[in-house]
Structure 1
């Protein structure tokens, strides 16, 4: 059994989810309502609804029957890697950026990340903190280095969310440069996508069925 990944614009996801607030727990709603920006609040709501839609497709269950639980392991706040109370062995992951969200569910560990390309030049100081020398050389040859960097970043962040890397290790995590095949790192399959100004990646050991909702 493979995994399921869904991604789309926040508005499209909220429309597909219906009454998104009714799907979330009180803890999630409190976190959502803490955002000052209505756009940021909608992104949060959409991502947390979408992960239930992903898991529901995989489990054959309605989204409203699934409870997302988050614990960071270092404090009592309800954040950190998500899991489902009703299916704790199922891997789930979610992400949101300005105006877009994505989520994934798989039989084993899964990580998903999404970033919006703002355009403009690449901040090479950030690139040096996140890329190996081989990756930096590829970025320098690229006609759109910021876009190329973001494609590497979402790959690395998806592996961080899986739990096989940390943010402190990114400059030592030497990945295939986007466009090189096969898109793998060790045992992990890297499923990339681009939609408009956004790029994303999902890392899993299983094949992923990716659907774009916009």
Structure 2
């Protein structure tokens, strides 16, 4: 471990790690999973099993190598209390052990993944593949009336698809930061997809009425990603860190 955790606390920065895991299952990845993750991994077929296990094992390696110290297998995860209903079984993920002030958010689309880490409060990240995302029949359930009107006004199908993808990732990022997921009505959340770069979004759903700074994150031509974090606290920089190589014992950027 280095002094990365201390620098995060001082600067209010968000580190975004990203990369692609292998399509082949590694025994070392399964060995790092907890019982619930292992059950979910074994319920998937190749290559989805390898993607799931690889990303969740990588989460532990990154946190251990760069923030927490100690062996990756010693890290334990839990949940924050859901702000909507008070249940701890489905709130925002947290690091339960070792004790830390860090917050994180993990997203995966096939083999592609992104991890946001910060010491500046709640954070949410969402990642979707342009190639694999299926939007058919979802627009009316996910977009607000103004968003739906703006999307339908676009002439090209590719532009409408891109508009929806940008809207979807922004909504997912906000709801992951809030800690309630997509159980809420997505149509009540307008994420200003016409605004490129960053936008201030208000979430007034169950459990909170907060403003979130939502930023698009460039992770490559085939991916759409968005980051959400609390607004009004003097947001620090967003630092991208691509993972170049993953071994069973370490992670190199």
Q: Give matches, 1:60-75, under 5 Å.
A: 61=69, 64=72, 67-71=75-79
Pairwise CA distance, 1:119: 7.0
Q: Give matches, 1:152-191, under 5 Å.
A: 152-163=167-178, 167=182, 168-185=184-201, 186-191=211-216
Moved more, 188-197 or 169-178: 188-197
The equivalent of 1:116 in structure 2 is 129
Higher helix share: 1
Classify the secondary structure of the residue corresponding to 2:193. Answer: coil
Pairwise CA distance, 1:121: 8.4
Classify the secondary structure of the residue corresponding to 1:195. Answer: coil
**Unmatched 5+ stretches in structure 2:** 1-7, 202-210, 245-253
The equivalent of 2:141 in structure 1 is 129
State which of 82, 94, 99 in structure 2 corresponds to 1:83.
Answer: 94
Q: 1:182 to 1:202 in 2, by over 3 A?
A: closer
- Is 1:10 aligned to 2:21, yes or no? yes
CA RMSD of aligned residues (A): 3.5
- Is 1:202 aligned to 2:216, yes or no? no
Larger radius of gyration between Structure 1 and Structure 2: 2
Classify the secondary structure of the residue corresponding to 1:152. Answer: helix
TM-score w.r.t. length of structure 1: 0.77
Q: Is the 8 A contact 1:106 1:204 kept in 2?
A: no
State which of 106, 112, 136 in structure 2 corresponds to 1:94.
Answer: 106
Counterpart CA distance in 2 for 1:20 and 1:121 is 29
**Unmatched 5+ stretches in structure 1:** none
Q: Is the 8 A contact 1:3 1:105 kept in 2?
A: yes
The equivalent of 1:59 in structure 2 is 67
The equivalent of 2:207 in structure 1 is none
Counterpart CA distance in 2 for 1:163 and 1:120 is 24
State which of 57, 62, 79 in structure 2 corresponds to 1:49.
Answer: 57
Moved more, 97-106 or 189-198: 189-198
Classify the secondary structure of the residue corresponding to 1:38. Answer: coil
Counterpart CA distance in 1 for 2:32 and 2:155 is 43
State which of 22, 37, 43 in structure 2 corresponds to 1:28.
Answer: 37
Counterpart CA distance in 2 for 1:178 and 1:213 is 31
TM-score w.r.t. length of structure 2: 0.67
